[in-house]
Amino acid sequence: MPTEEIVKVENLWAYYDGEPVLEDVNLSIGRNDFLGVIGPNGGGKTTLLKVILGLVKPKRGIVSVLGKSPEKSRNKIGYVPQVNLFDRDFPINVWDVVLMGCYGNIGLLGRYHSEDKEAAQKALETVGGLELKDRQIGKLSGGEQQRVFIARALVAKPKLLLLDEPTASVDPAMQTEFYEILEGLKKQMAIVLVSHDISAISIYVDKIACLNRQLYYHGSKEIGPEILEATYKCPVQMIAHGTVPHRVLKEH
């Protein structure tokens, strides 16, 4: 199988208020890659996702998605933002949230077609959330909300799925179930998951990169403690509560 390149980032620099957030980042994501990006808060993880989405313009360097500019490829990217950023009291049910994922296909003034509704139904089935359909979004648990937002991202049948801190509001008992959903999606698309929490990047990811303004990426999930230390700029034990974190990653 030819490894089609989904995302290419070359020598990329991005700034926020004059401060560099991403420094000389290089990254290549292939068709069925499942990449976990870890790094401390403020390390540029969300910015990296936004650069790939074309929401943040890099100052220097190249970013291309499916061989085109991020804006042109946006309809092939599914985006799952941080769950805690929305208004829990908003009067909207799960079904209408998921249908929002079709906006790119039907346009601003268009109406939903039956295939959009089928796609929404299928996306909810994929994440095991069909029975949540009529519930108000704010009334769901963090894990359920997360699944709904994944369904919304899946409706447009993306080739690339970007998830920002997806496990932050999922309680630990549900995380395995959550990763199994992603495992199932891996065959159809490339997945990039960012998290500040090393333990959140489970055995399910295929490749790991560390990001703290600079990206350390070796195309595998073996990461030595020296890279983690360089990324977090502090003793790694602080984050992983004692045990050496790369052991967690190697254990398979």
Partner 1 sequence: MEVLQYEFMRNALLAGLLAAVACGIVGVYVAVKKIVFISGGIAHASFGGIGLGYFVGINPILGALLFALASAIGMGFITRRTKLPEDTVIGILWAMGMALGVIFIGLTPGYVPDLFSYLFGNILTVPSTDLIFMLILDVIIIAIVILFYKGFLALSFDEEFGTVVGVPIDALYLLLLSVIALTIVILIRVVGIILIIALLTIPAAMARQFTYNITKMMFLSILFGIVFTFGGLWLSFVLDLASGATIILFSGIVLLATFGVNRLRRKPVKV
228 scored as a contact of partner 1 (CB under 8 A):
no
Number of residues located near partner 1, criterion CB under 8 A: 26
Q: For residue 107, give every residue at least 6 positions away whose Cβ sits within 8 Å of its Cβ, in sequence order, or none.
A: none
Task: Give the nearest distance from C-beta 122 to partner 1 in angstroms.
Answer: 18
Task: Give the nearest distance from C-beta 135 to partner 1 in angstroms.
Answer: 9
The span of 7-15, 23-31, 76-84, 115-123 binding partner 1 (CB under 8 A) equals 76-84
Closest Cα partner for 58 from 6, 92, 11? 11
Q: Give me the amino acid identity at 15.
A: Y
Name the pairing type of β-strands 160-164 and 77-80: parallel
Task: Give the nearest distance from C-beta 25 to partner 1 in angstroms.
Answer: 21
Q: Give me the amino acid identity at 89.
A: D
Q: Please state, in angstroms and as integers, the Cα–Cα distance from residue 244 to each residue in 164, 224, 236, 249, following that order.
A: 25, 10, 8, 10
Region 161-220 residues binding partner 1, contact defined as CB under 8 A: none
Q: Which is nearer to partner 1, 80 or 208 (CB)?
A: 80
Q: Which is nearer to partner 1, 35 or 56 (CB)?
A: 56
How is residue 95 written in tokens? 């079904």
Name the pairing type of β-strands 207-212 and 190-195: unpaired
Binding mask 99-138 for partner 1 (x = CB under 8 A): -xxxxx---xx--------------------------x--
Report d(CA 113, CA 101) in Å as an integer: 13
Element (H, E) at 193: strand 190-195
* Residues forming the site for partner 1 (CB under 8 A): 53, 55, 74-75, 77, 79, 81, 86-87, 89-93, 96-97, 100-104, 108-109, 136, 152, 156
